Amino acid sequence: DAGITQSPRHKVTETGTPVTLRCHQTENHRYMYWYRQDPGHGLRLIHYSYGVKDTDKGEVSDGYSVSRSKTEDFLLTLESATSSQTSVYFCAISGSPTGELFFGEGSRLTVL
Amino acid sequence: SQQGEEDPQALSIQEGENATMNCSYKTSINNLQWYRQNSGRGLVHLILIRSNEREKHSGRLRVTLDTSKKSSSLLITASRAADTASYFCATDAGSSASKIIFGSGTRLSIRP
């Protein structure tokens, strides 16, 4: 299995609070992704990174920011969580731009 | 809206039968990938087909790609109970090769 760890795995928070999800990899892969998964929507790309300090927006980036200060970590931040951001968040990594993605086990976030 | 859309949304077949899932996408691509997700878990890569390929096989999996119709199909032959899962196609966004977009998925159920 690819060395990819998401933390926390479960979090319950209140509307308006900041939340940061962490994705950590030990594979030295260049590409990292954050997706959210909701019933009926499959996986939707939030942000992705193609190198240290190189990030770009995905399909549903509003309300989210990311940072990648080193190869192994990709952080997803919700500056002020809303109930619509209740979801399961998946991190994925890849060694090539159009190659196979390796997924983490997901982080379940509930915003009350 | 999402790049890839799967059809059907849900499929229930008898064990031993073949399962066919379809994916349509909107823009030109470099590759198309298929992934599988067991309930509550991260996605697992099944197969990748390049834009210059028309068909690819891997074990009981057969993938076809028709770039003129912007569509792909995944065939699982001789289905087993363990094939019960959700299946997703994923494409790059053409000019933004590292931007990997997923469809909404097909939920496959295998009846014993």
pLDDT, tens only, A28-41: 999 999 999 998 77
Comparing alpha-carbon positions, the chain A residue that sits nearest to B98 is: A97
Quick check: B99 and A42 CB within 8 A? no
- Is A3 in the B-facing interface, judged by CB distances under 8 Å? no
Residue of B37, B102, B104, B107 to mutate, testing the A interface (most A Cβ within 10 Å of its Cβ): B102
Contact (CB, 8 A) for A35 and A92:
yes
- Taking contacts as CB-CB distances below 8 angstroms, the residues of chain A near B90 are 101
Q: How many CB atoms lie within 10 A of CB B13?
A: 16
Quote the pLDDT of residue A1: 59
Instruction: Give the mean model confidence (pLDDT) for residues B24-45.
Output: 92
Quick check: B43 and A101 CB within 8 A? yes
- Average pLDDT taken over every residue of chain A: 95
Residue A2 has pLDDT above 90, yes or no: no
Listed in order, strand segments (DSSP E) in B1-112 are 4-7, 10-14, 19-25, 31-37, 43-50, 55-58, 61-66, 71-76, 85-93, 96-102, 106-111
Quick check: A98 and B100 CB within 8 A? yes
